[in-house]
Amino acid sequence: MKTNQFPGFSSPSASTEAPLEMLAACHGRVEKQCQTLLRLVPHLQAHGADPSARQAALAVMRYFDTAAQDHHADEEQDLFPALLALTADSATEAPRVRALTQALLADHQRIGGLWRELRQALAAVAEAQPAAELSIEQVNGFVSAYQRHIELEEGELLPLAARLLSDADIGRIGAAMRQRRGIGAID
């Protein structure tokens, strides 16, 4: 998974002032959390729910319970509706945008279901329960679903949004993202 670069912004410092870049930068953080999950499986087999495993489980849960949920809400509540509204009267763009947003919404639901199951196992690790373990199949399913989702967003959604959204649209999306995160207005 590799995040796209949008002109004028850099991923490490992406913020709500550059919402498309922030969404792309989030993908890199998702990838890091997924790599942690993949490393956690053999670590648990070798060391059990030791302090390192518990700390990793807590960090992954914290990320996917907060930042990842905000990311999905940014898209579902702000980006998707903006793109659908912009293309509503376009015979060529409307069907494409509608199909793309529906596919991404379905991904969000699928990933959410996978996360709820995986989170239960991670909670057992975080609590150092005696039989705490992660299924490699479960982790691989979650990671693969996210990889496919990110590829679709970076390959189609974000370039489309960069092409269609005006500065005013971007500003509104950024303001909504700040509000969702409890960040004050940018002067």
* Structural domain spans, the chain: 16-181
- 50-61 as b/e: b if 16+ CB within 10 A: eeebbebbeebb
Backbone phi, psi, residue 135, to 5°: -80, 130
Domain spanning 16-181 has what CATH number? Answer: 1.20.120.520
Predicted local distance difference test score (pLDDT) of residue 182: 87
| Cβ atoms 19, 74 nearer than 8 A | yes
Please tell me the predicted confidence (pLDDT) of residue 131. Answer: 82
Q: How many CA atoms lie within 13 A of 57 on its CB side?
A: 25
pLDDT at residue 123, rounded to an integer: 97
- Give the pLDDT confidence score for residue 16 in this predicted structure: 65
* pLDDT tens series, the chain, 187 aa: 333 443 333 344 455 678 999 999 999 999 999 999 999 999 999 999 999 999 999 999 999 999 999 999 999 999 999 999 999 988 889 999 999 999 999 999 999 999 999 999 999 999 999 888 899 999 999 999 999 999 999 999 999 999 999 999 999 999 999 899 888 765 5
Q: Give the integer Cα–Cα distance in Å for 157 and 129.
A: 41
The predicted structure's pLDDT at residue 57 = 97
